[in-house]
Amino acid sequence: MELFFQLVITGIVIGSIYALLALGFTLIYKATDVVNFAQGELLLVGAYICLHTTVTYNVPFIAAFFLTLVFTFLMGFCIEKIFLRRMIGEPIISIIMLTIGLSSVLRAIVTIIWGTDTLTFPEVFSQAPIVVFGLSISQVYIYSIFAVAIFLGLFTIFFKKSKVGVAMRAVASDQQAALSMGIDVKRIFALSWAIAAVVSAVGGIFLANINGVNTSLSHFGLKVFPVVILGGLDSIIGAIVGGLIIGILENLAGGYIDPLIGGGAKELFPFVIMIVVLMIKPYGLFGTVEVEKV
């Protein structure tokens, strides 16, 4: 039973990071119709930047964390302006190719600068586990869950209450109508990329604190697909539910099935779920068929 709870807790930590990634992915997809295959590389860059700032320049972790957010915000903004802006109106397949190209380029840049060895943060969070209900949980897990929850909460408020957040959803809903009320659609596109890069970086930084960083961390980007298929593209709640379900199930699979078959189940599981869900409900479990009324 102890194993079960440990696996579930790890699943929640990883799943909450999936939720962040899914939020970024959904944001770009809904606002700009771009399927972003470089989501995992945004995470990777964020993790390396924060690690580099902390280790090389001896900046305190908290400061490095926020500096990284500023940097990745600008990076996301520029990626949209430089690469995706001129692709507006081009065939979807070309745009997908562009984001795949972008993912390779980002990964290559990271490899050139930081190499392929796994790098680790200095001890940011105390190694001493905290014992909750007889389960010992490492501190970084707890910080990670709280940080992710705070970010998701902030974004929920931003999208519900702020003028710009509402405008972003308006653009996702009807671009021309949004334009008719003076909403600067191009700015919103760039902002979507900027926010997607920021949330990915947050995920990347915590993953790096848990396991260290190397380029394989970018594989997390692909997990976004089962998560959004499960949670739908409509809401932050969907992303959270989808993220947690995938995170928990893949860890359980890793803990119980992998020892029997010698590995692989953990990696495979999310995509099996994705395929099954797609066959039963093409809009995702929590996705809605568009509201339609004249």
Partner 1 sequence: MLNVNNIEVVYNDVILVLKGLSLHVEEGQVVALLGSNGAGKSTTLKAVSGLLRPDDGEITDGDITFMGERIDRKDAADIVKSGIFQVMEGRRVFKDLTVEENLIAGAYTQKSSTIKTNIDRVYHYFPRLQERRNQVAGYMSGGEQQMLAIGRALMASPRMVLMDEPSLGLSPLLVKEIFSIIKMMNEEEKTTILLVEQNANMALSASHYGYIMENGRIVLDGPSSELKENDDVKEFYLGVTGQKSFREVKHYRRRKRWLS
What residues make contact with partner 1 under the rule CB under 8 A? 160, 163, 166-167, 169-170, 173-184, 234, 288, 290-294
**Nearest residue to 110 via CA among 43, 199, 48, 194:** 48
- 27: tokens are 């944001």
**Nearest residue to 39 via CA among 96, 113, 111, 92:** 96
Nearer to partner 1, 167 or 265 (CB): 167
Least distance in angstroms from the C-beta of 168 to partner 1: 10
Least distance in angstroms from the C-beta of 184 to partner 1: 5
| Rounded CA separation 136/268 (Å) | 28
DSSP code of 132?
E
**Nearest residue to 80 via CA among 133, 22, 32:** 32
Contact 107, 215 (CB under 8 A): yes
Least distance in angstroms from the C-beta of 94 to partner 1: 18
| Rounded CA separation 106/160 (Å) | 33
Least distance in angstroms from the C-beta of 190 to partner 1: 14
* Bridge partner list, 30: none
Nearer to partner 1, 123 or 174 (CB): 174
Nearer to partner 1, 1 or 181 (CB): 181
**Nearest residue to 36 via CA among 48, 44, 45, 27:** 27
Cα distances (Å, whole numbers) of residue 135 to 98, 123, 148, 278: 46, 22, 21, 36
Least distance in angstroms from the C-beta of 288 to partner 1: 8
Nearer to partner 1, 156 or 175 (CB): 175
Q: For residues 214-245, b (16+ Cβ closer than 10 Å) or e, as one string?
A: bbebbebbebbbbbbbbbbbbbbebbbbbbbb
Nearer to partner 1, 128 or 181 (CB): 181
Least distance in angstroms from the C-beta of 182 to partner 1: 3
Nearer to partner 1, 169 or 266 (CB): 169
| Rounded CA separation 192/190 (Å) | 5
Nearer to partner 1, 183 or 245 (CB): 183
Least distance in angstroms from the C-beta of 77 to partner 1: 18
Nearer to partner 1, 3 or 164 (CB): 164
Least distance in angstroms from the C-beta of 81 to partner 1: 16
Cα distances (Å, whole numbers) of residue 224 to 72, 161, 210, 235, 250: 19, 26, 19, 14, 13
